[in-house]
């Protein structure tokens, strides 16, 4: 009996919390870095992307976040102090805002828990927090940590609000409110050389770390030390990582930003081989050449012309003409 009552009470609490908290805007955080305008996003923890889109320009600074509160994370690109927010992955910019200075460091997060991610400009250890995608003065100005801190963003306690944390090596000092004072959560995870991303990988509303080495990701669902719960190889080592909830299932997954190779300038067309001293019909043999190099040159001349090994100089098809004759 008491067990049943207890279970009901827990259930009631869960529902009340669910009803009162806006959809988590979980990804966000600092700019993704990298360059390129191809985005390969994955809704599942698998090796293959299910979304492949182009957005913005190669040199754009890129952020991910839930700009409209629909529960789905999308892209925003930044050029100087101008931001182009799009509410559909690969779709046109829906909101364009100029905010702060061209050289500001900006992190995105849901600072007020309304389900929408918005910018915070960082200058040293001062954060100018904005709760809407609009120009104008900051809604709040707060100090956090030290000017040189490596700062991370996430919702550590699942209250729907993003707050800050500091990384030092492989140690993390997380705070559940944006203000000074002792960390609420301290833990170590991964290696000092790892890249780290925070997201809600399991849908419990709390953001936890995933570290990257090469193109291998080690994912944890807790802000504590210990082994990763999931390991996944994704993308290429040269890719830049993005994280977000692309399909709105409340779980963050991976994506990458990749540079699209520029089309290579057309090679000058191979000059037409002179018909003398030989042609496809003249049938030279290895014995007609003074050296392997001369045979090789004749062989390659016809290969380049697209006619193949017209003299039959490379009988063993290893690309070396008449190598057994010299
Ligand atoms: Ca959205
Ligand atoms: Ca917000
Ligand atoms: Ca929080
Ligand atoms: Ca989580």
What confidence tens digit (pLDDT) does each residue in 92-131 have?
Answer: 999 999 999 999 999 999 999 999 999 999 999 999 999 9
- Residues having C-beta closer than 5 Å to ion ligand 2: 110, 112, 114, 116
Phi–psi pair at 294, nearest 5 degrees:
-65, -40
8 pLDDT tier (thresholds 50, 70, 90): very low
Tell me the percentage of the chain whose pLDDT exceeds 90: 68
Region 56-60: mean pLDDT is 95
- Judge whether residue 30 has pLDDT over 60: yes
Indicate which ligand has the atom closest to the C-alpha of 110.
2
C-alpha 78 to ligand 2 mean position (Å): 19
pLDDT of residue 3: 35
Indicate which ligand has the atom closest to the C-alpha of 155.
3
- Residues having C-beta closer than 5 Å to ion ligand 4: 200, 202, 204, 206
C-alpha 112 to ligand 3 mean position (Å): 10
Token pair listed for 266: 């057309």
pLDDT of residue 230: 94
C-alpha 300 to ligand 1 mean position (Å): 57
Region 285-301: mean pLDDT is 89
User: What is the total residue count of the chain?
Assistant: 326
11 pLDDT tier (thresholds 50, 70, 90): very low
- Judge whether residue 303 has pLDDT over 50: yes
- Judge whether residue 27 has pLDDT over 80: no
Q: Which comes out higher in pLDDT, residue 285 or 168?
A: 168
Do 179 and 144 meet the contact criterion of CB atoms below 8 Å apart? Answer: yes
Indicate which ligand has the atom closest to the C-alpha of 65.
1
Region 164-180: mean pLDDT is 94
Work out the angle at residue 46's Cα, subtended by the Cα atoms of residues 42 and 52, and round it to the nearest 5 degrees. Answer: 30
Region 257-265: mean pLDDT is 85
C-alpha 24 to ligand 3 mean position (Å): 10
User: Which residue, 58, 63, 94, is CA-closest to 77?
Assistant: 63
- Judge whether residue 249 has pLDDT over 90: yes
C-alpha 8 to ligand 4 mean position (Å): 24
- Judge whether residue 186 has pLDDT over 80: yes
pLDDT of residue 221: 97
pLDDT of residue 280: 56
C-alpha–C-alpha distance, residues 109 and 85, integer Å? 14
């Amino acid at each position: 009996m008491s067990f049943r009552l207890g279970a009901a009470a827990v259930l009631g609490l869960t529902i009340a919390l669910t009803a009162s908290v806006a959809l988590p805007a979980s990804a966000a955080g600092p700019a993704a870095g990298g360059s390129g305008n191809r985005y390969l996003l994955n809704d599942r923890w698998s090796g293959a992307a299910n979304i492949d889109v182009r957005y913005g320009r190669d040199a754009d600074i890129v952020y991910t976040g839930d700009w409209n509160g629909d529960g789905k994370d999308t892209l925003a690109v930044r050029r100087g102090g101008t931001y182009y927010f799009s509410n559909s992955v690969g779709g046109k910019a829906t909101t364009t805002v100029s905010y702060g200075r061209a050289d500001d460091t900006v992190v995105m997060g849901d600072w007020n828990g309304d389900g929408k991610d918005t910018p915070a400009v960082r200058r040293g250890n001062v954060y100018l927090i904005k709760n809407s995608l609009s120009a104008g003065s900051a809604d709040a100005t707060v100090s956090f940590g030290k000017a040189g801190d490596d700062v991370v963003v996430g919702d550590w306690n699942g209250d729907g609000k993003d707050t800050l944390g500091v990384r030092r090596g492989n140690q993390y000092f997380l705070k559940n409110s944006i203000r000074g004072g002792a960390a609420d959560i301290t833990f170590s995870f991964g290696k000092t050389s790892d890249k780290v991303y925070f997201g809600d990988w399991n849908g419990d509303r709390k953001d936890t770390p995933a570290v990257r080495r090469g193109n291998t990701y080690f994912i944890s669902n807790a802000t504590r030390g210990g082994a990763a719960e999931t390991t996944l190889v994704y993308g290429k080592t040269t890719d830049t990582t993005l994280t977000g909830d692309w399909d709105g299932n409340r779980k963050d997954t991976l994506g990458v930003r990749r540079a699209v190779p520029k089309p290579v300038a057309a090679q000058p067309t191979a000059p037409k081989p002179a018909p003398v001293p030989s042609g496809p019909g003249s049938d030279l043999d290895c014995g007609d050449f003074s050296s392997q190099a001369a045979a090789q040159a004749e062989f390659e001349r016809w290969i380049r012309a697209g006619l193949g090994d017209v003299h039959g100089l490379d009988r063993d098809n290893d690309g070396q003409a008449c190598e057994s004759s010299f």
